[in-house]
Amino acid sequence: MNNKSCILKVNDPVIISGDLTGLGDLDGMITEVDPFMDATLITAKYIGESAVTAYPHQSVTGFSHFFQLKTS
């Protein structure tokens, strides 16, 4: 997943990479965007059916390349 062409911000709907979750691609909403050295850390909470799949975890944090802006 590549985010070089978009800037992610709080409350954006995203697809969270299965490489990060270990559960396949899941839907989420960004809750935090934090600069970290030369990168950006994103925290997103799981939403919809993805919240059920990821239970008991409510959110995930990872580098921005694990998150893709959801367009539809």
Is 56 a member of any domain?
A: yes
Reference 2, options 66, 71, 58; nearest CA is 66
**pTM score of the predicted model:** 0.86
* Dihedral over alpha carbons 60, 65, 67, 72 (to 10 degrees): 180
Q: Considering its fold, how many domains does the chain have in total? A: 1
pLDDT at res. 3: 42
pLDDT digits (tens, 9 = 90+) for 5-49: 458 999 999 999 999 999 999 999 999 999 888 889 999 999 999
Q: Is residue 63 part of a domain?
A: yes
Bond preceding residue 56 cis, omega within 30 of 0: yes
User: Are 23 and 43 a contacting pair, CB within 8 Å?
Assistant: no
Domain carrying residue 42: 13-69
Please check whether residue 24 lies inside any domain of the structure.
yes
Can you give the pLDDT at residue 35?
A: 87
Q: Half-sphere exposure of residue 54, counting CA atoms within 13 Å on the CB side?
A: 23
